[in-house]
């Protein structure tokens, strides 16, 4: 099956199509993780995006239910160099092609994916279309230009849960306890987690630290959250531009100082805005599992998982209130902040990993400690 990727700037890549037949549209971004394609497929933060994986061999280890970060894949389309038709791993239950086809996700393979990545690196992320139906590139380029831009889009409210629920191990995910290290210990804290596109592993990590987690829709008013009398509030990752999520910013402002707050990724960006800061779009974002992030107070470095196109401008934050805690060593962008007086911190990257290194798991402990102190 032939397939074409057309980008809004007119560049076209022709390759072979796998997975679902049809067309998909989105912002084309690249991810440099070597492992973890299944987690990437199912990360709701990729809503609205077509993902190019730089690792050229994808699909080798198949898929399994435990490694899902959500109940379904969120990427719009997948682009790889070599797509494995078979899988080999003791946990694999379904080959990737079948899995993606089931969720109607097209795959473009056997293109010069490195050339595409270099193009995105040099010209920035852009809109694109993958089609297995249309062979006229001009038509596809025109389509790419017609889809809405990511900037200004509130996708959190698209992917969020439509009603609150209490997350339990084994309920929404099926992994055996020993794999994720979550013991069924009686929870010591109650955390309300705003779902802007939350990944399962965040919930697992919170649960593993002894938190009962109630997941609530993105637009849940702060008052409703307060009424649940949580020990802490968590602000999740998610897709899209943070700026249009004004409801979330308002809610965060109202919750600040009343409950310990911990934000990740989109949750961090929203926190930054709530603190008076501004966000901006990165040229091609950070998507990968190898970013060095420095803890500014200790000088220690964590190798971290990233997935963001937007970042908080550190100069826009009120220095008297906000302490900058983490910085990316590759491009010196802001990766973490803490309020100087209130129980509030957030990070731009993904301490829950999945996929990615586990160096930053400590942040979940920090959150628990913060809740302990606040409680005490």
Partner 1 sequence: MPKRTDISKILILGSGPIIIGQSAEFDYSGTQACKALKSEGFEVVLANSNPATIMTDPEFAERTYIEPLTREYLEEIIRVEREISPSPGFAILPTVGGQTALNLAVELSDGGILDKYDVQLIGANIAAIKKAEDRLYFKDAMQKIGLDVPKSALVNNLKDGLEFAGKIGFPVIVRPSFTLGGSGGGIAYNREELLDVLARGLDFSPVHEALIEESVLGWKEYELEVMRDLRDNVIVICSIENFDPMGVHTGDSITVAPAQTLTDREYQVMRDAAIAVIREIGVETGGSNIQFAVHPATGRMVVIEMNPRVSRSSALASKATGFPIAKIAAKLAVGYTLDEIPNDITRKTPSCFEPTLDYVVVKIPKWQFEKFPGADESLGPQMKSVGEVMAIGRTFKEALLKGVRALDTGKKIGSEKIEPKILTQRLVTPHPERLSYIRYALRQGHTVKNIAKMTSIDPWFLYQLKEINDMQLELEKHPMGSIPTDVLRDAKRMGFSDGRLAGVWRLDGKGAQEKIRHLRKKNRLTPVYKRVDTCAAEFESYTPYLYSTYEEEDEATPTKKKKVIILGSGPNRIGQGIEFDYCCCHAAFALHDDGYETIMVNCNPETVSTDYDTSDRLYFEPLTLEDVFAIYEHEASSGAPVGVIVQFGGQTPLNLALPLKAAGVKIIGTSPESIDLAEDRKRFNKLLEELEIPQAPGAMAASIEEAVAGARSVGYPVLVRPSYVLGGRAMVIAYDEETVVRYMKEAVEYSQDRPVLIDHFLEDAIEVDVDALSDGEDVVIGGIMQHIEEAGIHSGDSSCVLPAVDIPGHLLDRMRDYTFKLARALKVIGLMNVQFAIPRSNGSKANGDEGGKVYVLEVNPRASRTVPYVSKATGVPMAKIAARLMTGRKLREFLPEFIERAADLDTGSCYFVKSPVFPWNKFPGVDTVLGPEMKSTGEVMGVADNFGEAFAKAQLAAGQKLPTSGTVFISVTDHDKPHVAELARRFVDMGFKLVATTGTADVLEEAGMSLERVYKVKEGRPNAVDLIKGERIQLIVNTPQGPDPFFDEKAIRRAAVTARIPTITTLSAARAAAEGIAALQRGELNVRALQQLHAERVLENKL
Question: What residues line the site for partner 1 (CB under 8 A)?
Answer: 13, 30, 32-36, 38-39, 54-57, 60-61, 64, 66-67, 81-82, 84-91, 110-115, 117-118, 121, 179, 288-292, 294, 299-301, 303, 329-331, 353-358
Task: Specify the residue for token string 């809610």.
Answer: 251
Active site residue 350: yes
Task: Specify the residue for token string 């010196």.
Answer: 332
Residue of 286, 291, 306, 350 marked catalytic: 350
CB of 80 to partner 1, least distance (A): 11
Rounded to an integer, what is the distance from CA 287 to the centroid of its chain?
A: 9
Facing residues of 17 across strands? Answer: 108
Residue of 47, 211, 245, 265 marked catalytic: 265
Task: Specify the residue for token string 């990766």.
Answer: 335
CB of 351 to partner 1, least distance (A): 13
CB of 8 to partner 1, least distance (A): 19
Distance CA 138, CA 141 (A): 5
Distance CA 204, CA 29 (A): 27
Q: How many CB atoms lie within 10 A of CB 177?
A: 12
Q: Within 74-193, where are the H helices?
A: 96-102, 113-123, 137-146, 156-159, 177-180
Of 121 and 340, CB closest to partner 1: 121
Q: How many CA atoms lie within 13 A of 325 on its CB side?
A: 17
Active site residue 123: no
Of 212 and 291, CB closest to partner 1: 291
Residue of 8, 27, 302, 352 marked catalytic: 352
CB distance 204 to 39 below 8 Å:
no
Distance CA 127, CA 76 (A): 12
Task: Specify the residue for token string 């902040």.
Answer: 337
Active site residue 352: yes
CB of 181 to partner 1, least distance (A): 10
Of 47 and 116, CB closest to partner 1: 116
Q: Taking the CA atoms of 210, 214, 218 and 224 in sequence, report the sign of the dihedral they define.
A: negative
88 CB-contact burial (10 Å; exposed 0-12 / middle 13-18 / buried 19+): exposed
DSSP letters for 190-218: EEEEEESS--HHHHHHHHHTTEEEEEEET
- Residues recognised as catalytic: 265, 350, 352
């Amino acid at each position: 099956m032939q397939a074409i990727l057309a980008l809004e700037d007119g560049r076209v890549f022709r390759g072979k199509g796998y997975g679902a037949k049809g067309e998909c549209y989105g912002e084309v971004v690249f991810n440099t993780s070597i492992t973890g394609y299944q987690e990437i497929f199912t990360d709701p933060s990729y809503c609205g995006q077509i993902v190019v994986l730089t690792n050229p061999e994808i699909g080798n280890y198949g898929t399994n239910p435990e490694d899902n970060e959500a109940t379904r894949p969120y990427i719009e389309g997948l682009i790889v160099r070599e797509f494995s038709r078979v899988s080999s791993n003791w946990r694999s239950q379904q080959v990737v092609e079948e899995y993606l086809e089931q969720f109607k996700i097209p795959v473009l393979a056997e293109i010069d994916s490195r050339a595409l990545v270099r193009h995105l690196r040099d010209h920035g992320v852009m809109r694109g279309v993958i089609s297995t139906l249309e062979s006229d590139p001009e038509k596809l380029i025109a389509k790419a230009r017609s889809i809405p831009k990511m900037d200004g889009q509130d996708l959190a409210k698209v992917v969020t849960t439509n009603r609150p629920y209490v997350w339990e191990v084994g309920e929404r995910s099926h992994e055996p306890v020993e794999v994720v290290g979550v013991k069924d210990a009686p929870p010591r804290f109650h955390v309300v987690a705003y779902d802007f596109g939350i990944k399962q592993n965040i919930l697992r990590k919170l649960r593993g630290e002894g938190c009962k987690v109630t997941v609530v829709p993105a637009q849940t008013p702060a008052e409703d959250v307060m009424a649940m009398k949580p020990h802490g509030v968590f602000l999740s990752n998610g897709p899209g531009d943070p700026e249009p999520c004004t409801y979330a910013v308002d809610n965060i402002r109202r919750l600040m100082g009343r409950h310990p707050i911990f934000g990740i990724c989109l949750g961090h960006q929203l926190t930054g805005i709530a603190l008076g800061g501004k966000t901006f779009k990165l040229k091609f974002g950070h998507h990968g599992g190898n970013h060095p992030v420095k803890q500014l107070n200790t000088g220690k470095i964590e190798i971290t998982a990233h997935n963001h196109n937007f970042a908080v401008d550190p100069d826009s934050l009120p220095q008297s209130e906000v302490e900058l805690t983490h910085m990316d060593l590759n491009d010196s962008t802001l990766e973490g902040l803490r309020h100087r007086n209130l129980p509030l911190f957030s990070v731009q990257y993904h301490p829950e990993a999945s996929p990615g290194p586990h160096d930053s798991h400590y942040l979940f402990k920090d959150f628990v400690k913060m809740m302990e102190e606040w409680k005490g």
